[in-house]
Each structure stands twice: as C-alpha cells, then as structure tokens.
Amino acid sequence: MWFVYVLRCRDGTLYTGISRDVDARLVKHNQGKGARYTRGRGPVALVHQERKRSHGAALRREAAIKALPRDQKLLLAGGAE
C-alpha cells in the first residue's frame, strides 16, 4: 500500500508527498531529513492522507493534488487556514 499525504508547514504552506509509512515519513520531515521543501519550515503537521493500491496510483493522485488551487487543497486539509 502507498499513501498520499498533505502536510501543513509552520509557515502555513502545504506540502504533498507519497510514502509507504506516513508516520515514519512525518518524523523524517520534522527532523529536517525529509523533503528539501519542508526543511526550515517545520514543525509540520499531517492534515490529510489517502491510501492507494499502487505506487503509480499514488504518484497520479499526488500530481492531481499538487495541481489543485490552494482553496481546494485547504478543503482536503479540513478547511482551516
């Protein structure tokens, strides 16, 4: 199983990624060892995740989420800014 996840960074920006283990990945992001984008923007908080059957499906959904306007991403994240 793969997961697509959305994080809210300390500066209010949103980051979307994929992982097989979201909890472990969240720890890496908060240690500054995750994606370059989240370094210096931590701590980050998990605001959305979806389970996907394959790596390809997760990559396609990640791309679709990244293409959404911010207001629609915020709806995924629970609506709160």
Q: What is the CATH number of the domain that holds 69?
A: 3.40.1440.10
Of all residues in the chain, what percent carry a pLDDT higher than 70?
Answer: 96
pTM score above 0.85: yes
Instruction: For residue 70, give the 3-state DSSP assignment.
Output: helix
Domain extent at residue 72 = 2-76
pLDDT at residue 80, as a whole number: 57
Question: Does any domain span residue 42?
Answer: yes
Of all helices (H) and strands (E), which one includes residue 25? Answer: helix 22-30
Cβ-based burial of 38 (10 A; exposed 0-12, middle 13-18, buried ≥19): buried
pLDDT at residue 54, as a whole number: 97
Q: Which residues pair with 46 in a beta bridge?
A: 7
pLDDT at residue 22, as a whole number: 97
Question: Does any domain span residue 13?
Answer: yes
Question: Does any domain span residue 81?
Answer: no
Per the structure, the count of domains in the chain is: 1
